[in-house]
């Protein structure tokens, strides 16, 4: 069944009008007709079954037949703050796969060794939107505007905070530190890693040092590994 992302839908309204872009896609591309059934997600946990009432290529009218709230609501909250990669396609890959696995919030952090300091957030959000539709998720992860690391460290976070880095020192595994069904904020550095000064600042801000294994991972791979470990621990 065809799925549409409709962030402006009202749960209590019996009808919904698809945007011109979505209407054109539904009628001209997918060749849907009146009476065809579709599914909608609002990015806030709402999952809707609907039926096409008027198959208009500019303003398709849908009758809402059922609504499920908190559809597949997750039992934990995962916020990964990661430095955008020099090759932006690697960051795009991480966003797509992390969304499919399960993530709630992403911050793009600018560090001293960052090789990319500007990103097109609108484009990245489109990749996230496509991923939630593909993986049938009703919650749309929040993608924050790029922020300097020292600014992020000053923001309050009511949960466990971790920093993954490659500098020498005592570090425990992420999976051994996570409290089930909790809230987590995990920092992942750029290709050249965090500087010692940045690591020290993070530790002073309450972040705990962690390792993601013995292998030396690319930035996007490390971020996805952290995402996987958090979701695997909370799979029940």
Residue range 191-220, pLDDT digits in tens: 999 999 999 999 999 999 999 988 889 999
What are the boundaries of each domain within the chain? 3-68, 77-233
Kindly tell me if the per-residue pLDDT of 12 is higher than 90: no
For residue range 127-138, what is the model confidence (pLDDT) as tens digits? 999 999 999 999
Residue closest to 159 by CA, chosen among 224, 110, 99, 208: 208
pLDDT tens column, 213-229? 888 899 999 999 999 99
Tokens of 193: 């890693």
Asked if pLDDT for residue 236 goes beyond 80, the answer is no
Question: Architecture of 77-233 per CATH?
Answer: 3-Layer(aba) Sandwich (3.40)
Give the pair of three-digit tokens for residue 104: 């709630």
User: So what's the pLDDT on residue 11?
Assistant: 84
pLDDT at 14: 94
**Residue 125 phi, psi dihedral angles, 5° rounding:** -65, -35
What does the buried/exposed string (b/e) look like for 21-55 if buried means 16 or more CB atoms within 10 Å of the residue's CB?
eebbbbbeeeebeeebebebbbbebbbbbbebeeb
Measured between alpha carbons, how far is 15 from 21 in angstroms, rounded to an integer? 18
Q: What's the pLDDT tens digit per position in 162-186?
A: 999 998 989 999 988 999 999 999 9
As a whole number of angstroms, the distance between CA 210 and CA 165 comes to 7
User: At 1, is the pLDDT very low, low, confident or very high (cuts 50, 70, 90)?
Assistant: confident
Mean pLDDT of the chain: 95
Look at residues 97, 71, 83 and name the one whose alpha carbon lies nearest to residue 227: 97
> Which of 236, 115, 214, 117 shows the shortest CA–CA distance to 225?
214
Residue 205: CB atoms within 10 A of its CB come to 16
Is CATH 2.40.240.20 what the domain over 3-68 is classified as, yes or no?
yes
Residues 55, 56, 58, 59, CA torsion sign? negative
**pTM of this prediction exceeds 0.85:** yes
Q: What is the pLDDT of residue 160?
A: 98
User: Per this entry, what is the length of the chain?
Assistant: 236
pLDDT score for 214: 86
Which residue did the predictor score with more confidence, 32 or 1?
32
Lowest mean pLDDT among 39-43, 114-118, 200-204, 222-226: 114-118
Q: Which helix (H) or strand (E) holds 202?
A: helix 196-204
């Amino acid at each position: 069944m065809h799925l549409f992302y409709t962030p402006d839908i009202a749960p209590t309204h019996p009808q919904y009008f698809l945007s011109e872009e979505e209407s054109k896609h539904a009628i001209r591309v997918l060749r849907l007709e009146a009476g065809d059934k579709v599914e909608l997600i609002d990015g806030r946990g709402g999952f809707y079954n609907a039926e096409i009432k008027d198959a208009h290529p500019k303003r398709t009218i849908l009758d809402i037949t059922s609504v499920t709230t908190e559809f597949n609501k997750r039992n934990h909250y995962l916020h990964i703050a990661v430095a955008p990669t020099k090759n932006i396609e690697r960051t795009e890959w991480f966003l797509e796969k992390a969304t499919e696995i399960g993530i709630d919030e992403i911050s793009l952090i600018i560090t001293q060794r960052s090789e990319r300091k500007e990103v097109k957030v609108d484009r990245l959000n489109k990749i996230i939107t496509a991923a939630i539709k593909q993986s049938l998720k009703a919650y749309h992860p929040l993608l924050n505007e790029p922020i300097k690391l020292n600014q992020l460290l000053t923001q309050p976070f009511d949960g466990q905070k971790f920093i993954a880095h490659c500098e020498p020192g005592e570090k425990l595994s992420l999976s051994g530190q996570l409290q089930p069904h909790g809230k987590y904020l995990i920092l992942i550095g750029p290709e050249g890693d965090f500087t010692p000064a940045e690591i020290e600042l993070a530790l002073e801000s309450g972040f705990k040092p962690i390792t993601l294994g013995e292998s030396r991972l690319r930035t996007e791979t490390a971020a996805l590994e952290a995402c996987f470990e958090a979701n695997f621990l909370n799979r029940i």
